[in-house]
């Protein structure tokens, strides 16, 4: 029913102020969880969901994010000459095919809606995905695949959600729910960071979207929302009269890596999944807690 989702947008032009001083010269999305930068987890999630084109919304000082998905000739030659085939193969395997990575400059971080709007010419008239790399999601199937499975049936705008405590609604985009079968919620709107007292539900978006290009009709108007930023939430909300809108409950583990404690927790959780280090990590964490 719905068109195939082939393209994904990765907004990485934010300033990462919650992670200063680490993010003074390094992009937040390059921070590693164990040994892989956040952006690579997001790209791998998208690739595993069948995405073919990867569009980075970058800003000044963020070119390194694009370089990460290109050849590193000196390093590759060195690894080859030292017989370190495994590392070399893993580096090469993480690169999308030629012509499938594009970078668009946002120039000024005017908000997530504005970041996505900057990719409009690269997206054309087809549904597309948006992934926020600082939300690290651990699941099988990957979160974006879970969304695409639902999108294939219902079309329109589809976002990943999780139920948050009432007092945290002012940190998220919150769905205004019409009906809910416990897995998929049909929504009639979305509000950015509502006060707990007036939040329409506790279903919060967790940084994964499949969007209909109709959202650009609203984003074209460049209207500022909460925090003086051009909000993607407002564009989704504005299209719910004409486009179906659903939230899909994410099944898996979620780590908010834009937050320091979330980031540290992700490092421990992902390290515990790695057979070659799990025992040592368990021992080290146990010793710290003892």
Nearer to ligand UTP, 2 or 129 (CB): 129
Cβ pair 9, 128 in contact under 8 A: yes
11 makes contact with ligand UTP (CB under 6 A): yes
In angstroms, the CA 95 to CA 71 distance is 8
x/- track of binding to ligand UTP for residues 251-270 (CB under 6 A):
-------x------------
Interacting residue with ligand UTP among 55, 112, 185, 219 (CB under 6 A): 112
Interacting residue with ligand UTP among 6, 15, 94, 188 (CB under 6 A): 15
Beta strands in 19-63, from DSSP E residues, in sequence order: 32-33, 36-37, 53-58
Whether the bond between 45 and the residue before it is cis, its omega within 30 degrees of 0, is no
Give the number of residues in contact with ligand UTP, rule: CB under 6 A. Answer: 22
Segment interacting with ligand UTP, rule: CB under 6 A, options 65-73, 103-111, 192-200, 210-218: 103-111
x/- track of binding to ligand UTP for residues 144-183 (CB under 6 A):
----------------------------------------
115 makes contact with ligand UTP (CB under 6 A): yes
Output the smallest distance, CB 146 to ligand UTP, in A: 20
What single DSSP character describes residue 202? Answer: S
Angle between helices 38-48 and 143-154 (to 10 degrees): 40
Output the smallest distance, CB 114 to ligand UTP, in A: 6
In angstroms, the CA 69 to CA 116 distance is 20
By CB neighbour count within 10 A (0-12 exposed, 13-18 middle, 19+ buried), where does 252 fall? Answer: middle
> Distance of CA 117 to CAs 5, 45, 51, 113, 159, Å?
17, 22, 19, 6, 17
Output the smallest distance, CB 123 to ligand UTP, in A: 15
Footprint of ligand UTP (CB under 6 A):
11-19, 28, 57, 106, 109-112, 114-115, 132-134, 258
């Amino acid at each position: 029913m719905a068109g195939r989702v082939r393209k994904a947008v990765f907004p990485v032009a934010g300033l990462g102020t919650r992670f200063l001083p680490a993010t003074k010269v390094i992009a937040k999305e390059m921070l590693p969880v164990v040994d892989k930068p956040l952006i690579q987890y997001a790209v791998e999630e998208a690739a595993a969901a069948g995405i073919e084109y990867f569009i980075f919304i970058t800003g000044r000082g963020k070119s390194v994010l694009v370089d990460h998905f290109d050849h590193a000739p000196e390093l590759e030659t060195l690894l080859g000459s030292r017989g370190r085939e495994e590392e070399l193969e893993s580096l090469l395997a993480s690169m999308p095919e030629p012509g499938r990575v594009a970078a668009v400059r946002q120039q000024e971080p005017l908000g997530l809606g504005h970041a996505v709007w900057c990719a409009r010419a690269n997206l054309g008239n087809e549904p597309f995905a948006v992934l926020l790399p600082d939300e690290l999601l651990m699941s099988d199937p990957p979160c974006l695949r879970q969304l695409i499975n639902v999108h294939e049936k219902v079309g329109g705008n589809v976002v990943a959600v999780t139920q948050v405590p009432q007092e945290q609604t002012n940190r998220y985009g919150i769905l205004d729910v019409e009906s809910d079968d416990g897995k998929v919620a049909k929504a009639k709107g979305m509000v950015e960071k509502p006060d707990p007292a007036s939040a329409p539900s506790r279903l919060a978006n967790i940084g994964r979207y499949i969007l209909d290009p109709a959202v650009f009709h609203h984003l074209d108007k460049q209207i500022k929302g909460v925090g003086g930023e051009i909000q993607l939430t407002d564009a989704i909300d504005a299209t719910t009269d004409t486009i179906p809108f659903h939230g899909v409950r994410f099944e898996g583990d979620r780590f908010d890596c834009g937050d320091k404690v979330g980031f540290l927790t992700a490092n421990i959780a992902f390290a515990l999944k790695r057979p070659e280090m799990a025992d040592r990590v368990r021992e080290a964490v146990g010793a710290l807690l003892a």
